[in-house]
A and B are shown apart, each in its own frame.
Chain A
């Protein structure tokens, strides 16, 4: 059974960089059929797609966040990571990593999510 687990600091100061890692277990991140994505949910709000990456390193970002976001992949560790720069309180959210089916375009496996609070 595929599992995804987010990890990283739960508290980040304003103007700093938020860094999270998603570890994939029970399957290979190198699968040609899938992309890997980050989605977030601010408190009391809906889900927002942040971006996705293919195991080759090709990245795709939400246009509204593109200037802040960097997603990378480490196939040797079966992990992919998110960096969000110059964070503000508006970036406080539960961050999820998920697997995206590359042909049918749905997110089928999700992590449990991790709350990241931006505060001094």
Chain B
């Protein structure tokens, strides 16, 4: 069970869109539609942004969207705002009641 691969960093200017990728294998991301994304401000509890690839919990702005193609899932943040600056993690169900996380992406709002 290897960690999912995310780019270490991403950046964009306010108002722009940024997409963060999350690459796994056919045993996790590609095999199940159970990819979720979390926003993590250091020192705080991670916050659920997206579940089941593209669904948003109530209260999460529609600026956050998710998708998947093959073994790669993606999180897109549209209309970047200063408060979006945080670490973002993907996770996927990996079968047999196990989960695997990505290494995290630090999003900088320029």
A46 near B1: Cβ-Cβ < 8 Å? no
Is the beta-carbon distance between A107 and B38 smaller than 8 angstroms? yes
- Most A CB atoms within 10 A — which of B40, B47, B57, B96? B40
Q: Mark B9-44, 1 if CB is under 8 A from A, else 0.
A: 000000000000000000000001010101010001
Binary CB contact string for chain B from 96 to 110 against chain A (1 if under 8 A, 0 otherwise): 111111111000000
Contact A108 B104 (CB under 8 A): no
User: Do B36 and A107 have beta carbons less than 8 Å apart?
Assistant: yes
B101 and A106 form a contact (CB under 8 A): no
Beyond A45-B103, A112-B44, whether A105 also contacts B98 by CB under 8 A is no
The tally of residues in A whose CB lies under 8 Å from a CB in B reads 27
DSSP class of A's interface residues: helix, strand, loop or mixed?
A: strand
**Across the A-B interface, how many residue pairs have beta carbons closer than 8 Å?**
73
Q: Are B45 and A111 interface neighbours, CB within 8 A?
A: yes
B20 to chain A, nearest CB (A): 13
Are B101 and A104 in contact, CB atoms less than 8 angstroms apart? no
Name the residue of chain B whose CB is nearest to the CB of A112: B45
Are the CB atoms of A107 and B46 closer together than 8 Å? yes
Query: Do A96 and B46 form a contact, CB below 8 Å, given A46-B3, A104-B51, A105-B51?
Result: yes
How far is the CB of A115 from the nearest CB of chain B, in Å?
10
Q: Which of A14-22, A26-34, A57-65, A84-92 forms contacts with chain B?
A: A57-65
* Interface set, chain B 43-88, CB cutoff 8 A to A: 44-48, 51-52, 57
Question: Residues of B with Cβ closer than 8 Å to A?
Answer: 1, 3, 6, 32, 34, 36, 38, 40, 44-48, 51-52, 57, 89, 91, 93, 96-104
7 CB contacts below 8 A, A to B, read: A39-B101, A46-B3, A47-B46, A47-B101, A47-B104, A48-B101, A98-B46
